[in-house]
Amino acid sequence: MSKKIFIILLILLSFPTIVSAHTTVSHSTPAEGEVIRNNLLEVTVNFTEEIEKISTIELLSKNNEIPFKRVTVEDNKLIGQLEKPLENGSYRISWNIIAQDGHPLTGEIPFTVEKEKEEKEKKEETNTVVVNENVTPENIANDSTNIVITVVITILIAIILFGFIILGRKRG
């Protein structure tokens, strides 16, 4: 039995064990797949360990890069500050870091911006007057005539029905 254990240990020790202790993303703002509904002026990616100062971050919309006003690396955090809030659409954060152990790592974090329209835009929409180009004096006169004819016909039908009801009572 001890021979079997020795052989098993020898086999296990003969294969080098690869320990993967690289840093990973602990969380980000925005998070992966998140839908942002307000103005976003800063993007942050936090890692489980410190990262090197030469690490970089990009913000992409489709294949267009949206430049950051400033990018900073603070211990285990990559921070990108934007000039102006993002418009509605799909985005992805692309990060390239060098971990403290010297290993380069990359990744992407997709997210979406779906803000409601601003108050000014809402007011402009509610104050919009819809002009019907088909409205002419003739059409207005025709509509008025149609209304009068409908009212007269309705009154005549009511009188006729009333007459039948009264005649029916007198006979019975």
Query: pLDDT > 90: what percent of the chain?
Result: 48
Residue with tokens 């307000």: 38
Confidence at residue 35, expressed as pLDDT on a 0 to 100 scale: 96
- Residue 5's pLDDT band, with cuts at 50, 70 and 90, is low
DSSP H or E run through 111? strand 104-113
- Chain centroid, CA 34 distance in Å: 8
At position 75, the amino acid (one-letter code) is: D
Tens of pLDDT, residue by residue over 92-134, are 999 999 988 888 999 999 999 999 876 555 555 555 554 445 5
Confidence at residue 163, expressed as pLDDT on a 0 to 100 scale: 74
Contacts (Cβ under 8 Å, ≥6 apart) of 45:
25, 28, 57, 77, 78, 93, 95, 109
- Residue 20's pLDDT band, with cuts at 50, 70 and 90, is very low
Walk me through the domains of the chain, giving residue ranges and CATH numbers. 22-120 (2.60.40.1220)
